[in-house]
Amino acid sequence: MDLLEYQGKQFFSRYALPVSQGFVAHGVPEAREIADRLGYPVVVKAQVHIGGRGKAGGIRLAGDAGEVETAADSILGMDIGGHTVGCVLVEEAARIAAEYYASFTLDRSAGRYLGMLSARGGVDIEAVAESDPGSIARIWVDPVESLGDAAARTWVRAARLDETAADELVEVLLQLYEAFVDGDADLVEINPLILTTEGRVRVLDAKVTLDDNSVFRHPEYRAYDATQPRDEREASAHALGLQYVGLDGTVGVIANGAGLAMSTVDVVAQAGGAAANFLDIGGGADVETMAAALRVINNDPAVKAIFINIFGGIVQGEVVAQGILDALDRVELRAPIVLRLDGTNADQGRAMVAPRLSEMLMMAGSMSGGAARAVEIAGSA
């Protein structure tokens, strides 16, 4: 779950991180009212789930009310990397003496949290890592042991940050680590973390990705869901509780389990086709879930064939078969289905489906065979 900048700063504020004061505006008059209240100069910043806002003209400094109105009017509605700007953050401008980079993320291969810190903030960290990898100081933190003051202080020295601000930098890094762990985040990033001309450390930007599986611990995260970027297909699937990602192909994919769904997308590609989606119905395939899955894929005009790839482990083949048959009675298909059913009680399931086989419902004996048949149908449609 990716947060917009203003949401990320609200999140950081809960952990006492020093963010600039600012408010969100959805229109030009509101932007001016906020700026008048904050005092000038201010910065008007596009709120979108993508980087490169500055290069696209989505971040502007405004010294008076007229400049705020001009900036807000030009930024609102702007297209930045395929994302339309629906709101702007109006916040106090800062006088910058130095720009740093700081982040925590997961390093699954090491089984540790990875922190990155650099004196080269304000630019693309990937470019910095490629051109000057030595400028990034890395630290791996054992989740059991946590990050201590001494380790954070050593980290600041390794990154060659301003020694006069070391105490405040250490405090900010410890707060950022707390936000990362306590907030169940996959990523917390500040770029730039600035040192002001007054010698204070401030958070000038916020990039936060939260683990949406942690919502049961953080019910307030549900408010972020409405701002997640989804196309019409993804929004429809999400409303039905499906794990769905829209793609650009013509073969609709339904599978039970994320690993199998990803493999199915790959096998479709190996057969010479392209998947229209990734859709994981989870460990079960009851009638409600299957009907919802078919409804979403059936409403995608790009889909010319549907490949249902089910491997029964805990779920039994006859349960899957009954779910598919009942779902077919609820959904009027536009595209033919190729079904591969294997695993627990698969023979019983296939026997139940056999009387309904037709040009709109075909059985495949293998995953690769089913993918090839679906690609063939999609190509001839």
Say which of 189, 224, 244, 318 is annotated catalytic.
189
Instruction: With CA atoms as reference, report the closest residue to 104 among 132, 146, 145, 134.
Output: 146
* 262 class by beta-carbon count within 10 Å (0-12 exposed, 13-18 middle, 19+ buried): middle
Cβ atoms within 10 Å of 314's Cβ, excluding its own:
9
Going from the C-alpha of 223 to that of each of 183, 228, 296, 363, the distances in angstroms are 15, 10, 24, 43
Instruction: With a cut of 50, list the residues of the chain below it in pLDDT.
Output: none
170-205 burial, b for 16+ CB within 10 Å, e for fewer?
Answer: bbbbbbbbbbbbebebbebbbbbbbbbeeeebbbbb
321: which residues sit within 8 A by CB, 6+ positions away?
341, 348, 349, 350, 352, 353
pLDDT 10s digits, 44-66: 999 998 888 888 899 999 999 99
Say which of 6, 99, 100, 101 is annotated catalytic.
101
Cβ atoms within 10 Å of 272's Cβ, excluding its own:
12
Instruction: With CA atoms as reference, report the closest residue to 375 among 346, 335, 341.
Output: 335
CB 230 within 8 A of CB 238: yes
Q: How far apart are CA 325 and CA 323, in angstroms?
A: 6
> What is the per-residue pLDDT for 234?
65
The counts of H helices and E strands in the chain are 13, 18
> What is the per-residue pLDDT for 49?
87
CB 295 within 8 A of CB 328: no
> What is the per-residue pLDDT for 225?
72
For the chain, where are the alpha helices, taking DSSP H only? Answer: 5-13, 28-38, 65-75, 125-131, 149-158, 166-182, 222-225, 232-239, 258-270, 287-298, 317-330, 346-353, 367-380
> What is the per-residue pLDDT for 261?
92
Q: Is 162 helix (H, G, I), strand (E, B) or coil?
A: coil
Residue 365 DSSP class: S
- Classify 114 in phi/psi space as left (phi over 0), alpha (psi -120 to 50) or beta: beta
Q: How far apart are CA 168 and CA 133, in angstroms?
A: 25
Cβ atoms within 10 Å of 348's Cβ, excluding its own:
14
CB 69 within 8 A of CB 79: no
Structure tokens at 305: 């064939």
In this prediction the pTM is 0.73
CB 34 within 8 A of CB 53: no
pLDDT 10s digits, 282-338: 765 667 777 888 888 888 889 999 999 998 777 778 888 888 888 888 888 889 999
Structure tokens at 68: 């705020």
> What is the per-residue pLDDT for 318?
85
Active site residue 189: yes
Structure tokens at 22: 């600012």
